Amino acid sequence: MAKILLISGSPRKGNSDHIISRIFDKLAGEKDIIRLREEKISQCLGCSVCFDTQECVQKDLMREIIVKFQENDIVVLGTPNYYDNVPGLVKNFFDRLSPLYDTDLKGKKLVVIISAYHEPGSESLMNCEQAIRNFARLQNMDVKGVFHFQGQEVDDVQKDPKTEGKIDEIVTKIVAL
Ligand SMILES: Cc1cc2nc3c(=O)[nH]c(=O)nc-3n(C[C@H](O)[C@H](O)[C@H](O)COP(=O)(O)O)c2cc1C
């Protein structure tokens, strides 16, 4: 059975965090969840040492998270859309995954949840999706699904009666990967 790592990338306990939390609740089997806003993850220093050594010079939680990335078969990332892109919290997370660049992630499956003010399929969401796809391509990850949710206030997605059904569909797709 696949091992699944869920990443909640919002600075707040809002829409994308709700979806990631519900997916986590509904998944059976081996699973782990990391909420980036709750963790102390330093900024990428840009030293580029990790491109040669496959190890960051900073000894923080990212060392453990990188091992989790290597050990899990599927990563599910939930993120809000900020300025047609991911928030800084997620971008720094991507940057801090650089020790894995061109190494271990080949074929690792990635499922993406994006929450945004604009409607699903809109240019703003597609731009954010593309930014994540660019990261996945450069890290040799295999994007298996991208799901858009619309919401502005912290609990818009949670209050939408259609949300739970959409989450069930996503869980079914993840289990089938
Ligand atoms: C700094 C900032 C920038 C944002 N930029 C966009 C944007 O470019 N497009 C969009 O559709 N929504 C944008 N939003 C709205 C959020 O994507 C939206 O509220 C989303 O549901 C937040 O997800 P969360 O509750 O998981 O944090 C922005 C919100 C903030 C705070």
The answer on pLDDT for 103 being more than 70 is yes
CA distance 104 to 101: 8
What's the 25 CA to ligand 1 centre distance in angstroms? 24
Which pairing describes strands 74-80 and 31-35: parallel, antiparallel, or unpaired? Answer: unpaired
What's the 6 CA to ligand 1 centre distance in angstroms? 20
Look at residue 68 and give its three-state secondary structure: helix
CA distance 56 to 73: 22
Region 4-176: CATH code: 3.40.50.360
Residues 6+ apart with CB under 8 A from 143: 110, 111, 112, 132, 133, 136
Please provide the average confidence, as pLDDT, over all residues in the chain.
Answer: 96
Percent of the chain with pLDDT over 70: 99
Q: Model pTM greater than 0.85?
A: yes
The answer on pLDDT for 4 being more than 70 is yes
Percent of the chain with pLDDT over 90: 95
pLDDT at 110: 97
Domain ranges of the chain: 4-176
What's the 56 CA to ligand 1 centre distance in angstroms? 30
Longest dimension (CA), the chain: 49
The answer on pLDDT for 105 being more than 80 is no
For the stretch 42-59, pLDDT in tens is 999 999 999 999 999 999
